[in-house]
Amino acid sequence: MSMDQRTYGPTALLTPANLLTAFRLVVTPIFIWLIVSKGASWITAGVGFVAAASDYFDGIVARRQGTTTSGAFLDPLADKVVVLGSLFTLAAVGRMSWIPVVIITLREAWMTWYRSKSSKLGISIPARTLPKWKTFIQDWAIAFCVLPPTANLHWLQIATIWVAVTLTLYTGWQYYADGKKAAAT
């Protein structure tokens, strides 16, 4: 059986999709270091792009070869590490306001707690498409701070991060409402 025909069961750990997710976790500290040491530069933006692109590709690979329980846990964790690590770093170096960073962080912390609580109660909350868009917009809010052509377009950075905050809060509410509906059935 060739590798592209191989499928993985839900308990598999060492899968191509999980390796891409692990790669994203390994690249994140390099991206954060580049934000601090190089600021807005093509190398910083390139490494950030690679991290963001790996999220897109691990989803494609997982759907083709089989989603796993470990991937369902690791992928959102990697998203949080990349996004929150980058946002905290950008705020710490003065490239972004702390207010949207704190709002996004609080929502992500609450979401982690809520998912854990729901899972312990045996409640499965189906995934929606909008959270992927939320991550996409968060990635662009970060990108606009590290891409040289947009590094000084503060209006664009501010507008994008607040769109990201809005989507972050809305998808959190959506997930909560879906959880309540799943618990009632």
What's the token pair of residue 155?
Answer: 């209006």
Please calculate the CA angle 169-99-170 and round it to the nearest 5 degrees.
Answer: 5
Residue 1 pLDDT level (bands cut at 50, 70, 90): very low
| pLDDT value for 132 | 85
- Residues 17 and 61 sit within 8 Å (Cβ to Cβ): yes
- Condensed to tens digits (0 to 9), the pLDDT of residues 47-69 reads 999 998 887 887 777 777 766 76
Enumerate domains of the chain plus CATH numbers.
3-184 (1.20.120.1760)
Phi, psi (5° rounding) for residue 54? -65, -30
Q: Note the pLDDT tens digit of each residue in 141-156.
A: 999 999 999 999 999 9
Residue 71 pLDDT greater than 60, yes or no: yes
